[in-house]
Structure 1
Amino acid sequence: MAIDRLSDLRRARRIVVKIGSALIVGEGHPKTDWLHTLASDLKSLRDGGTEVVVVSSGAIALGAGAVGLTDRARASLSHAQAAAAAGQIALARLWHDALAAQGLGAAQVLLTMDDLEDRRRYLNASATLGKLLEQGLVPVVNENDTVATEEIRFGDNDRLAARVAQASGADAVLLLSDVDGLYDREPSKADAELVSTVDGVTPDILAMASSASSSGLGSGGMVSKLQAAQIAERAGIALAIINGRGPSPIARAMAEERGTLFLPRRADGARKAWLGGRLAAAGAISVDAGCGRALLDDGASLLAAGITRVDGEFSRGDLVEVRSEDGTAFARGLSEYDAADIRKIAGLRESEQAEQLGYAPRSAVIHRDHMVLL
């Protein structure tokens, strides 16, 4: 099923809808009336045959208001975790009530980055989401901020939504923002133009993003939304950004065809899509131009002979980035060696590697079956 414009999202078999904090919470209080109009939009999607997964921010914002935390206090990890614990109950109740008013059942799912970075836990999350949808429920997903640390956090729900779309087998992701979509320059400028369709997130597209968030409540911005689009497009998933302000935002955006639609670029297999969406690389391997061409043009495995530099300390089986000579990351994969051993054999041919390693070398540093191009 091709998704070429916003209104095509109505025909998606399964869609992930992400809502930011500023849309749900205003001045510490939930925007209950708005949320009920959004729930009506979700019911319309369901009535049209589209299964819906919600990724909802708002727990920290709700909890901060409930316990009187200031913006400065909210910046502390321990304060944010406490606010999330208090606010998650209120957020779950809001979604339960809004969906119940439309005759829909809700199910809460809290995830950490590790739940989606670890392959076994990722498959468990995927199975749970599938079962909830099979039972006719609407999974409401949020990052488990109460236990997540700075080192193992998504930090924004935009990228979480893209990863949840992979795990749930969704066709599309819909990000509700406080702007209409991606503009070719800062939206506040008079000559800024909305970009309606993006066929691949290129460096030029990334340059259009502003990291500013007008709300001050959310942790995301346009940069995180483009990162989410990159994850989605590599997995064959369409992603759209629309303005969530005002009642019934999904119905309005589709009727007006107003927003930015990122077209999927390719449909990697399940394992490679998971690899391409992983966020926490443990290190990096730089390669020479000839090796880079072999990886990009021929789909070759990464051999030690083409390696020029190793950054970071990682172990066999860890996810690492592959970079060109100018430092641009163009692939990632699972390393067959730890960092120390790769440094020993970097630049050497297979016949020279055993003496350095003290054992027979493996067929590749990263096998092509465990590597994905970015």
Structure 2
Amino acid sequence: MRFDFLGARRIVIKIGSATLVDKRTGLRRGWLASLAEDIVALRARGTQVVIVSSGAVALGSPLLGPEFNRSRLADSQAAAAVGQIKLAHAYQETMARHDITVAQILLTLDDTEVRRRYLNARETIEALVRLGALPVINENDTVATTELRYGDNDRLAARVAQMISADCLVILSDVDGLYSADPSEDASATLFTHIPRITQEIEDMAGEPKADGVGSGGMITKLAAAKIAVPSGCHVLIVNGKPDHPIGRYRDTGVGTWFEAHEAPLTVRKQWIAGTLKPTAVLTVDKGAEGALRQGKSLLAAGVTAIRGVFERGDTVTVQNADGRELARGLVAYSSDEARRIMGRRSDAIEELLGYKGRGAVIHRDHLVLL
């Protein structure tokens, strides 16, 4: 079983640094030209395409001399500033041969975590696609601090796919897909071509994050991306991006890993909540509250046993059980100070404790997403 591109209305293609840039020779122009032909073929079928591309740091760092040190944030940001120009020009030059206009968009973590910025970014991308342009998106490494970075474009691509209601996120990797073990270390490792649901067993196969001096992430960040995109109704496809025509190659061979999207995607607002990468705080709940959440009920103050972190009303928080397992995320109805005063107490005691009636739920079910 393989993913069928023919029915896709909108696709996000994520291109990693290791796929786009060769350590010795630099930008892989011939490969990029072949990908452009794949994109032209998709657009000819009526499929809208958005690209999320790494590569700015990898292209810029060789131009900054012997004192460049990628481990220093400022140096990496400088390399991104230099390389982003080369990256944008490469896409512009390649796609111009097919009379396709390229648009550059740089995003930070805050641009997808803060609701107002998220909506603004979505409207910009929607307008570009509607007008026939090809958006090329990258993380804005030149201004993002360590705390406000995605750190990998896999999750950024998943957030973009979620943001624009894409049908499929295609992640071009340096391997064929998800294996039962690391194929470079275990010759008996088998490739999973279709994953109908992401289980803990599947997550355990992803291994540890990797960095090779050009790209960063590894299979674990691709699994994290799938966990963001799939609940929003977006299929995720991981294929080997190294060969020419990576999209056409998958159509011909079916070699890759397809994560099947859920049949009933979350509402747009709940997609945004579920995709939050940096929840403000953690609420721990008892077994009774855990059972109620699984039944689709709201989180009441009586079920909260502990609170870690500082937050304001409307912030996104994580809900976990006594074992530390994340159960849900939601928009909290109280500040952390207020929540600590009412946790473990019945709803009819809230007015006396806070001096006003307040809301019956700490997180209402309409603003809560089970994970």
Per the normalisation by structure 2, the TM-score is 0.96
Indicate whether 1:62 and 2:54 are aligned. Answer: no
In the alignment, what sits opposite 2:281? 283
SS at match of 2:217: coil
Q: Is the 8 A contact 1:212 1:222 kept in 2?
A: yes
Q: How does 1:347-362 map to 2 (within 5 A)?
A: 347-362=344-359
User: Aligned equivalents of 1:163 and 1:144: distance in 2?
Assistant: 15
How has the CA–CA distance of structure 1 residues 69 and 203 changed in structure 2, closer, same or farther, with 3 Å as cutoff?
Answer: farther
User: Aligned equivalents of 1:91 and 1:67: distance in 2?
Assistant: 16
How has the CA–CA distance of structure 1 residues 327 and 70 changed in structure 2, closer, same or farther, with 3 Å as cutoff?
Answer: farther
Deviation at 1:300, TM superposition (A): 0.8
Deviation at 1:289, TM superposition (A): 0.9
Which residue of 84, 90, 95 maps to 1:88? 84
- Deviation string for 1:196-224 (max 9, x for gaps)? 11122111110000225374321211111
User: Aligned equivalents of 1:200 and 1:312: distance in 2?
Assistant: 32
User: Aligned equivalents of 1:68 and 1:264: distance in 2?
Assistant: 46
Deviation at 1:230, TM superposition (A): 0.5
Q: How does 1:333-352 map to 2 (within 5 A)?
A: 333-352=330-349
Which residue of 213, 219, 223 maps to 2:220? 223
Paired letter, 2:135: P
- Deviation string for 1:123-166 (max 9, x for gaps)? 11111111111111110000100111111111111011111112
In the alignment, what sits opposite 1:173? 169
Q: How does 1:66-215 map to 2 (within 5 A)?
A: 66-68=63-65, 73-188=69-184, 189-213=186-210, 215=212
Which stretches in structure 1 are left out of the alignment for 5+ residues? none
In the alignment, what sits opposite 1:246? 243
- Deviation string for 1:160-193 (max 9, x for gaps)? 1111112222111000000000001112211100
User: Aligned equivalents of 2:13 and 2:66: distance in 1?
Assistant: 28
Deviation at 1:77, TM superposition (A): 1.1
SS at match of 2:298: coil
Deviation at 1:103, TM superposition (A): 2.5
Per the normalisation by structure 1, the TM-score is 0.95
Paired letter, 2:205: M
Deviation at 1:278, TM superposition (A): 1.3
Q: What's the Cα RMSD here?
A: 1.4
Indicate whether 1:366 and 2:363 are aligned. Answer: yes
Deviation at 1:27, TM superposition (A): 2.1
Superposition misfits of 4+ residues, deviation over 6 angstroms: none
User: Aligned equivalents of 2:166 and 2:98: distance in 1?
Assistant: 22
User: Aligned equivalents of 2:348 and 2:365: distance in 1?
Assistant: 21
How has the CA–CA distance of structure 1 residues 212 and 349 changed in structure 2, closer, same or farther, with 3 Å as cutoff?
Answer: closer
SS at match of 1:229: helix
In the alignment, what sits opposite 2:270? 272
- Deviation string for 1:13-70 (max 9, x for gaps)? 0000000001111126111111111111111111111110000000011111121367
User: Aligned equivalents of 2:192 and 2:260: distance in 1?
Assistant: 13
How has the CA–CA distance of structure 1 residues 70 and 25 changed in structure 2, closer, same or farther, with 3 Å as cutoff?
Answer: farther
Q: Is the 8 A contact 1:11 1:48 kept in 2?
A: no
Tell me the number of residue pairs that the alignment of Structure 1 and Structure 2 aligns.
368
